């Protein structure tokens, strides 16, 4: 098995040029730097070369060459990941799918469309809109993330509570395995119980089993008038009660939360105002589809009930789509706003009912170990996913900061393990969390994962060192 450290020989580069042409084999330093990293800041990219295939046949030829010559491949999508899953740092061949960005075979009866792996998420969303339909998986990186990468990491986002993860929207997949075989999985079928569903193995596999080259994606009717409500919540312990009360009467499309510290950062950025004058420790953002005037009446009645219970201090509901977008920005602008502090991010989850105690224990660990670090909380609390962001002090060097946070991560993941949660709710494992996998997977599970990896990629050419 290859370990990804073999230098690409001139003979290999010549063979790659024969497959894709000289213009689509990149070896200049700028391309190596650009394509060799994702949004993770902890690793120095050092790929051997970048190749830009334009067809499934070219991808197969490249993978087969890798098996013959025993060099490693790192698949690359929009490189918006936060776990180092698309980082090439040991001379690997970086296989970027940016040229495979075509949409075809729209089926209005089945509500499906075929996308090559390099199709941008927003591109699919806009395509669906032109057909009077809707692709519901959405997140901050939708303008640059690619469908293949979304599937490889089973991306989630802001509306999982209503629409689920990317997995729910994949009707079929074409993949090139680590051996170079092409598999056409499920072929868009709604019902197919003929044996194992290998499609599900590749969803969330982070490029370790093979390369996703094409996907048949499901579309649905677009939502109608969406309203947004922001509630001021004095104590985290009340969040599950608020969620339960609203869910019993209204179909929610999102239930997010953020802390007062997060809100302050966004407001200080200068473009947004507080949703209301009252300051509270936490805020819940609720989105729901308004199918009739009765929905509005129900939402206001539920708000009043929450106030009467002492769960909510204040709140606001959008009166227009413009206001709804502004309220959403209070939550969505957090990541961009805090980026200047080079935050160390932990994307963790447990069941929603356990979130208050879970968050309190995690925060206590960080405050105990590094009281000088500022913590920013936000996340998709409606599906049990919270984002722990530790901000880097100005006087602390980046490498030292990451070492400190890595040490505290083990303590955080001990809490995750105790609560039966996940060390990676939606960002994948990659390099950043690979060594922590035993905190949420048993030895037996990891053993089976390794055997699956060996079956699809016996020579270890696909994204070595990631996930496992």
Give the pLDDT confidence score for residue 5 in this predicted structure: 47
Q: The tokens 């510290």 sit on which residue?
A: 261
* SS3 (DSSP) at 324: helix
Which class is 10-99+452-456 in CATH?
Answer: alpha beta
Give the pLDDT confidence score for residue 6 in this predicted structure: 57
> How does pLDDT run across 159-195, given as a tens digit for each residue?
999 999 999 999 999 999 999 999 999 999 999 999 9
Tokens (6 digits) for 417: 């393990």
Q: Would the CATH topology of 226-335 be identical to that of 342-427?
A: yes
Give the pLDDT confidence score for residue 205 in this predicted structure: 97
**Burial class (CB within 10 angstroms; exposed 0-12, middle 13-18, buried 19+) of 453:** buried
Which class is 342-427 in CATH?
Answer: alpha beta
> How does pLDDT run across 193-246, given as a tens digit for each residue?
999 999 999 999 999 999 999 999 999 999 989 999 999 999 999 999 999 999
What's the rounded mean pLDDT across residues 415-440? 94
> How does pLDDT run across 103-153, given as a tens digit for each residue?
999 999 999 999 999 999 999 999 999 999 999 999 888 999 999 999 999
Under CATH, what is the fold of the domain 226-335?
Alpha-Beta Plaits (3.30.70)
Q: In terms of pTM, does the model score above 0.85?
A: yes
Question: How many residues are given for the chain?
Answer: 468
3 pLDDT exceeds 80? no
What backbone torsions phi and psi does residue 223 show, to the nearest 5 degrees?
-70, 155
CB 468 within 8 A of CB 446: yes
Which class is 103-218 in CATH?
Answer: alpha beta
Sign (positive or negative) of CA dihedral 157, 161, 166, 169: negative
Give the pLDDT confidence score for residue 193 in this predicted structure: 95
> How does pLDDT run across 276-289, given as a tens digit for each residue?
999 999 999 999 99
Could you give the CA distance from residue 263 to residue 332 in angstroms, rounded to a whole number? 11
4 pLDDT exceeds 80? no
> How does pLDDT run across 324-382, given as a tens digit for each residue?
999 999 999 999 899 899 898 899 999 999 999 998 999 899 889 888 899 999 999 99
> How does pLDDT run across 119-132, given as a tens digit for each residue?
999 999 999 999 99
Q: Output b/e per residue, 167-199; b: 16+ Cβ within 10 A.
A: eebbbbbbbbbbbbebeebbebeeeeeeeeeeb
CB 421 within 8 A of CB 355: no
CB 173 within 8 A of CB 185: yes
262 pLDDT exceeds 70? yes
What are the residue ranges spanned by the domains of the chain?
Answer: 10-99+452-456, 103-218, 226-335, 342-427
CB 378 within 8 A of CB 258: yes
Output DSSP code: residue 441.
Answer: S
Q: Find, among 163, 171, 175, the residue nearest to 212 by Cα.
A: 175
> How does pLDDT run across 18-45, given as a tens digit for each residue?
999 999 999 999 999 999 998 887 788 9
Q: Region of 319 please: left (phi>0), alpha (psi -120 to 50) or beta.
A: alpha
């Amino acid at each position: 098995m290859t370990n990804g450290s073999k230098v690409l020989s001139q003979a290999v580069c010549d063979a790659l040029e024969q497959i894709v042409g000289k213009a689509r084999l990149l070896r200049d330093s700028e391309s190596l730097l650009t394509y060799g990293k994702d949004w993770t800041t902890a690793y120095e990219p050092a790929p051997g070369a970048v190749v830009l295939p334009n067809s499934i046949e070219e991808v197969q030829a490249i993978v087969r060459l890798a098996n013959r010559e025993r060099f490693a491949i790192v698949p690359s999508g929009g490189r918006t990941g936060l776990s180092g899953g698309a980082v090439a740092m040991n001379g690997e061949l970086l296989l970027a799918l940016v040229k495979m960005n075509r949409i075809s075979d729209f089926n209005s009866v089945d509500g499906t469309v075929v996308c090559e792996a390099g199709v941008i998420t927003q591109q699919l969303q806009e395509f669906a809109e032109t057909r009077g339909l809707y692709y519901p998986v959405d997140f901050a990186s939708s303008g640059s993330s690619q469908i293949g990468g979304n599937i490889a990491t089973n991306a989630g986002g802001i509306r999982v509570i209503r629409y689920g993860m990317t997995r729910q929207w994949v009707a079929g997949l074409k993949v090139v395995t680590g051996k170079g075989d092409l598999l056409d999985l499920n072929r868009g079928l709604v019902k197919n119980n003929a044996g194992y569903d290998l499609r599900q193995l590749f969803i969330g596999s982070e490029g370790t089993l093979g390369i996703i080259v094409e996907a048949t994606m499901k579309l649905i009717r677009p939502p109608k008038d969406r309203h947004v409500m922001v509630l001021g919540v004095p104590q985290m312990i009340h969040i599950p009660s608020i969620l339960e009360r609203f869910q019993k009467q209204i179909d929610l499309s999102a239930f997010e939360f953020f802390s007062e510290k997060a809100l302050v950062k966004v407001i200080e950025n200068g473009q947004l105002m507080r949703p209301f004058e009252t300051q509270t420790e936490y805020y819940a953002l609720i989105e729901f589809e308004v199918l009739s005037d009765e929905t509005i009446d129900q939402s206001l009645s539920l708000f009043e009930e929450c106030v009467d219970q002492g769960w909510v201090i204040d709140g606001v509901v959008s009166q227009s789509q413009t206001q709804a977008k502004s309220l959403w920005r209070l939550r969505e602008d957090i990541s961009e706003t805090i980026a200047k502090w080079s935050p160390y991010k932990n994307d963790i989850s447990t069941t929603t009912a356990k979130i208050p105690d879970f968050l309190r224990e995690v925060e206590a660990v960080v405050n105990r170990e590094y009281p000088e670090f500022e913590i920013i909380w936000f996340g998709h609390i409606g599906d049990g996913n919270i984002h722990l962001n530790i901000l880097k002090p100005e006087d602390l060097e980046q490498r030292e900061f990451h070492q400190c946070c890595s040490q505290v991560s083990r303590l955080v993941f001990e809490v995750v393990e105790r609560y039966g949660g996940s060390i990676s709710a939606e960002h994948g494992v990659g390099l950043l969390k690979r060594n922590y996998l035993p905190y949420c997977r048993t030895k037996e599970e990891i053993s089976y994962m390794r055997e699956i990896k060996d079956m699809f990629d016996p020579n270890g050419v696909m994204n070595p060192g990631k996930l496992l």
